[in-house]
Structure 1
Amino acid sequence: MAEAQRIHPAADFRSKPTAPLVEPGSSSTLEKGNSIHPRAPPPRAVPLVFSSPPRKRSCCCRCFCWTISIIIVLLILIGVAIGVIFLVFKPKHPQYSVDSLRITDLRLNLDLTLYTRFNVKITANNPNEKIGIYYEKGGSISVWFQGTNLCDGQLPKFYQGHRNVTKLDMALTGQRASGSTILSALQQQQQTGNIPLDLKVDAPVRIELGTWKLRKIRVLGKCSLVVDSLSTNSQISIKANKCSFSSKL
């Protein structure tokens, strides 16, 4: 009888494979007491979301930028227009000079007020070739001594054409308090033969550029005079005559 055959059970291929052995000293050897945890997945990047500013604020910024731009453009246009006017018309201040000064009355009243009456002849010169000057109502001319207004009068209303010279003959009158003090100072200064007087002009005028009549401005003039005497009804010699002019809106 044939030798009995040994029957070995077939391997069960469905059984789970055993974990691979880790050799001692390998880098994957776990230290004693450490436990194995599953590896956590890397954190996902969260995209940054910026909230847009309110629409109302954006509209305000846009309106502000437009307003600033319009103002800048207007200023540039005004500057260009002024530059063109200066290049084309070449405006100059009107000039004034004092031709003669005469005192017709200078007396101390019983109430100690000082009454003065001056006769002044002035030459007004418009040096502009393309600009006319309209002298409006309200203009004045006055004579001052050491900060005290001695007398004044009104400038007449008239038109002065291009490169025109106009002669003005004006009577200035005044009555001031503290007359004895002012008269005493004038007499002391007369002894030196040099009496400083200031003649001031304040003229409201309108400038004519071709057919355009611009807004009213004020021409301010000041003439520093030195005369030799203040004797009444006698011709006074003007020893110095220096004038300056400016304009004011």
Structure 2
Amino acid sequence: MSQIHEKSPKHCAAKQSHFPAHKFNKKLFYSFSTLLLTILALILLVWLTLHPTKPQFSLKQTDIYQLNLSSFPHLLNSSIQVTLFSQNPNRKVGIYYDILEVYASYKGQQISLDTSIPPFYQGHEESNVLSASLLGEGLPVAPSFGYQVGRDKSTSGNLVISVKANGRLRWRVGSWVSGRYRFNVDCIAILPFSGSSLPTGPLTTKQGTQCSTAL
């Protein structure tokens, strides 16, 4: 004798009501995913269309007021003033400089501490003049530091130092602001010698040099 299983009207109603809820959640998920992908595609399209150009830097003036080296244990005291010119070449993209730290080096040796320049915003095709006082007190340098400086004086008559900047920036397109990007700036300053091998008085150059920017 066969058995007939009948489902109660209550059971059937519960099962039927389950499917519309499942379909609604699935449709909501697809709608949200489509909206998110559309927004990301729009941002990517704007980014590729505008294609921001990295900022440009140049070194306008360098003044060395102190560069004193102790004979032992080869510690350096320095005082350097630099003036940088920063330019945003983009016509439709602004730049937020969140972090910008400047320091000086000589033959790969850092001869000043990092100096922070306050954060600032640079509008479309805008330029800014940036000044920084680079100081160092008791910085350890190689034993050959004094010899290298003396050799530069006798061979070329110039002291060549690097002025470097490391930072983080954000691009702004309309109301949209990007994430942070790391950038590095490298400038060369050529200062003619005067007096002793290691300068204790001002050495100055106003010969502007273009800097390289890596982003």
Normalised to the residue count of structure 1, the TM-score between the two structures is 0.60
* Matched residues, number: 171
Q: Determine helix, strand or coil for the equivalent of 1:171.
A: strand
Q: Does residue 241 of structure 1 match 2:202?
A: no
Whole-angstrom distance in 2 between the partners of 1:221 and 1:80: 31
Gaps of 5+ in 2: 1-36
In structure 1, C-alpha distance between the alignment counterparts of 2:168 and 2:122, rounded to whole Å: 13
Select which of 209, 219, 224 maps to 2:188: 224
Which of these residues, 140, 145, 155, is aligned with residue 106 of structure 2? Answer: 145
CA offset at residue 86 of structure 1?
3.2
Does the 8 Å contact 2:97/2:121 carry over to 1? yes
Q: Is residue 69 of structure 2 the alignment partner of residue 105 of structure 1?
A: no
The answer to whether the 8 Å contact 2:161/2:190 transfers is yes
Q: CA 1:144 to 1:238, structure 2 compared with 1: closer, same or farther past 3 Å? A: farther
| Corresponding residue SS for 1:236 | strand
- Contact 1:144–1:199 (CA under 8 A) maintained in structure 2: yes
1:96 lines up with 2:57 in the alignment:
yes
Cα displacement string for residues 52-83 of structure 1 (whole angstroms, at most 9, x for unaligned residues) = xxxxxxxxxxxxxxxxxxxxxx7xx9788545
**Match of residue 119, structure 2, among 139, 157, 166:** 157
Summarize the Cα distance change of 1:215–1:235 in structure 2 as closer, same or farther, 3 Å threshold.
Answer: same
Per the alignment, do residues 163 and 239 of structure 1 end up closer, same or farther by CA in structure 2, a change over 3 Å counting? closer
1:169 aligns with 2:137: no
* Moved beyond 4 Å, runs of 4+: 77-81
**Sequence identity percentage:** 25
Q: Which amino acid aligns with 2:159?
A: I
* Structure 2 partner of 1:195: 159
More strand by share: 2
Separation (CA, whole Å) in 2 of partners of 1:84 and 1:240: 35
Distance (Å, rounded) in 2 between the aligned partners of 1:246 and 1:79: 27
Q: Is the 8 A contact 2:67 2:78 kept in 1?
A: yes
Aligned to 1:130: 92
CA contact (8 A) 1:146 1:197 kept: yes
1:117 aligns with 2:79: yes
In the alignment, the residues of structure 2 paired with residue 135 and residue 236 of structure 1 have an alpha-carbon distance, to the nearest angstrom, of: 28
Residue 184 (structure 1) aligns with: 147
Amino acid of the structure 2 residue aligned with 1:108: L
RMSD of aligned residue pairs (Cα, Å): 2.7
Q: Structure 1 residues 220, 134: CA separation in 2 closer, same or farther (over 3 Å shift)?
A: same
Return closer, same or farther for 1:184/1:239 CA change in 2, 3 Å cut-off.
farther
Q: Provide the rounded CA distance (Å) in 2 between the counterparts of 1:150 and 1:79.
A: 47
- 1:147 maps to amino acid: G
Describe the shift of the 1:119–1:199 C-alpha distance in structure 2 as closer, same or farther (beyond 3 A).
same
1:142/1:129 CA distance change after superposition, 3 Å: same
The CA deviation at 1:144 is 1.4
Secondary structure at the aligned position of 2:144 is classed as helix
